[in-house]
Amino acid sequence: MPESSTSALIERKAGKARGIAIETVDSASYKAALRRLDAGQRRWLEQTGFEPKPARCALLPDGNGRLARVLVAIDPADPLGALAGLPFALPAGSYHLAEQGALGDTFLAALGWALGAYRFERYRKGGRAPATLAVPAADLAALAPLVEATARVRDLVNTPTEDMGPEQLADAVKELARAHKARFRDWVGEELLKANFPTIHAVGRASHRAPRLVELSWGKASDPKLVIVGKGVCFDTGGLDLKPADGMRNMKKDMGGAAHAIALAGLVMQAKLPVRLTLLVPAVENAVAGNAMRPGEVITTRAGHTVEVDNTDAEGRLILCDALAYGAEQQPDLMLDYATLTGAARVALGPDLPVLFANQDADAEQLLAAGRAVADPLWRLPLWRPYRKMLDSSVADFANSGPSRHAGAITAALYLERFVPEGLPWMHLDTYAWNDADRPGRPRGGEAMGLRAAFAFLQRRYAH
């Protein structure tokens, strides 16, 4: 169970207000809002210098000095962020949205409230409980899975590697399988070689924690097959191509792709989408030891391609390529992977915008549209195949990296694409999975990015 859940949201029954009303205002609606207040409240706003600028909030007393109403200035173009800063900014208690207000999308606003109520408290407990927001029962039922899935991603990414190694990541999948009566299996250590997953083994063999490939299967065999893959590098030192200290500091988050894949699989099963789901998580720790993978080694992958290891810090694509090849053997209707794959994606688009690569234009457009609809944006970059030459090798079919620093996110995606058969629809999301600083609704640490977008896309693709 995620550390944070929907406890910041409660059901608002028809005809019954739950707690103190929150009215959202902007510059266009502020005068109308003032007319609904009494003279004392208007005087309070004037004397405190309140202006209807986004993120400003006013607590309005009644004649007896009790909190009677809250005015919150918002940007109507950002419903997700409208209430996200309030759960810990307002006094503890219960609130509800007033019928009047400048806010159009109350569903996204309630989601923002819940996301803003998240705290990771596994190692540091205490502090007050968040204020609660009363929402209609139908909204609460639809919000709960999204809030819990986001909290699951955050919790998994925030947990330090000592408590979130390959075995613990597998346990998270096992718990999910148990909850949804799904089938679970994994290949551990030397079993990977026997089962022909050589690149997963090569990346993880130097750690004292055995590498593994984790598989969850769920759904009817007659339904369309959906494969979701997540990069599970539980810590990335860079291997023998060792990262500098600042580059290694937050590498507990390098299993963020796996966290997204696990959460998305949970949403699919909870919604009972009519698919035959396979979740694949290659889980490793990229460590340094005498048996560590070395630059210049050549590995024969599951798909039969030979790969020269140009850089041991380009390990994510190595573990993913065997998982993608295995997933493709099922001939799915769609294959989707999440990975904290490249710093180049962050240089291109910054920390908030995941990069999307797709080999089908229609699928890409539908996913982008879904992201816009649920305020979970993505941006597409091209699979520019002339750049494949950047991964040329003189001793193998191709390399996992190359000397050029140009187009790093694209060349990584092109590497993965070689393991996806022609004609098989595939989408790859290169995500940061992290907030560098605290913002309303987005606390510092692990973050779900592109999760709600993918789920909305899958709902539209597969729901009857």
**Catalytic residue, candidates 18, 42, 225, 243:** 243
Tokens describing residue 140: 């609460």
Question: How many CA within 13 A on the CB side of residue 227?
Answer: 26
The CA distance from 447 to 257, in Å, is: 11
List helix spans (H) across 356-407: 361-373
- Asked if residues 31 and 57 have their Cβ atoms less than 8 Å apart, the reply is no
Q: Is 243 a catalytic residue?
A: yes
Residues facing residue 233 across a β-bridge: 284
* Cα–Cα nearest to 235, from 274, 266, 204: 204
DSSP 390: G
Q: What is the DSSP letter of 147?
A: H
Q: What spatial distance separates the first Cα and last Cα of the chain, rounded to whole Å?
A: 29
DSSP type of residue 314: -
Q: Is 39 exposed, middle or buried (0-12, 13-18, 19+ CB in 10 A)?
A: exposed
CB 328 within 8 A of CB 335: yes
Cα angle 217, 4, 233; round to 5: 50
Catalytic residue among 119, 317, 418, 452: 317
What's the CA dihedral at 354, 360, 362, 368 to 10 degrees? Answer: 0
Alpha carbon 435 to chain centroid, angstroms? 11
Long-range contacts of 138-142 (CB under 8 A, 24+ apart): 139/106, 139/107, 139/110, 140/6, 140/9, 140/10, 140/11, 142/107
**In sequence order, what E strands does 219-275 have?**
225-230, 232-236
CA atoms of 312 and 241, how far apart (whole Å): 6
d(CA 332, CA 276): 9
Q: Looking at the annotation, which residues are catalytic?
A: 243, 317
